[in-house]
Homo-oligomer: A and B are copies of this chain.
Amino acid sequence: MRVSKNPEDRKTEILNAAEMLFTAKGYSETTVNDILREVGIAKGTFYYYFQSKEEVMDAIVQRFIDKGVEAAKAIAADPSLKATEKLFQIIMGQRPDADGQKEQMIEELHQVNNPEMHQKSLVETILQLTPVLTEVIEQGIREGVFQTPYPKETVEFLLVSSQFLLDEGIFQWEPQEQIQKVLALTHIIETTLGAERGSFAYILGMYNNEKEGKSDE
């Protein structure tokens, strides 16, 4: 039986099935045949829509990143937040009151055992987040709380180091080391941006409380 569908729908169908399988079993453990079975199509159809299994992964990553960048843009556009708060929230990937569903997806995708997908996702995120954050820094410079001759490059350096160094899939730090690194990063953010010492200290307190479980329950 041959069923023709709207190309976009078919593509989305494949992506959804693949995403489910990739997150459940991992990328390399998922075969193209698995995807075919799940969607109910033949191999030729799959390769009509995607050039390779990897291209499917790329599309999923892209879909996923778009959501994260949107969240960051929302934070950046929030007029009630100070530049320091925006910065810290975006860099730490903290979205205090965003809907919780996305967070789960991030968790899952991070744990997918696939260095390649992982790296691509980090790189794309950094590239897309850079202009957003640079704008925040320049806002901070105008407000007089930040000061640096290299706003864009500093953002890139901070993003790269926080995304890669604090990523649990790339480096495996002990919980204690992780805390130490967040402390250090806070200090480094302050110094590289020429912010007043302690600008991020109170935000850091919030971050730690969330991570270590609430003490007031």
A117 to chain B, nearest CB (A): 9
* B contact residues around A160 at 8 Å (CB): 160-161, 164-165
A48 to chain B, nearest CB (A): 23
Given A161-B157, A192-B192, are A184 and B119 also a contact pair (CB < 8 Å)?
Answer: no
- A116 on the B face (CB < 8 A): yes
Give how many A residues have a beta carbon under 8 Å from the other chain's beta carbons.
Answer: 28
* B contact residues around A194 at 8 Å (CB): 191
Q: Among A88-96, A135-143, A146-154, A202-210, which stretch is in contact with chain B?
A: A146-154
A165→B170 contact, CB < 8 A: no
* B contact residues around A10 at 8 Å (CB): none
- A115 on the B face (CB < 8 A): yes
* B contact residues around A187 at 8 Å (CB): 149-150
* B contact residues around A85 at 8 Å (CB): none
- A36 on the B face (CB < 8 A): no
* Contacts from A to B (Cβ < 8 Å): 115-116, 119-120, 123, 127, 149-150, 153-154, 156-157, 160-161, 164-165, 170-171, 180-181, 183-185, 187-188, 191-192, 194
7 closest A-B pairs by CB: A153-B184, A150-B184, A157-B161, A161-B161, A160-B165, A115-B116, A160-B161
Beyond the given pairs A160-B160, A191-B192, 10 more chain A to chain B contacts, judged by CB atoms under 8 angstroms and listed by A's residue number, are: A116-B116, A119-B170, A127-B171, A150-B183, A150-B184, A153-B180, A153-B184, A153-B185, A160-B161, A191-B194
- Can you list 11 contacts pairing A with B, beta carbon distance less than 8 Å? A115-B116, A123-B170, A150-B183, A150-B188, A153-B183, A157-B184, A157-B185, A160-B160, A188-B192, A191-B191, A191-B192
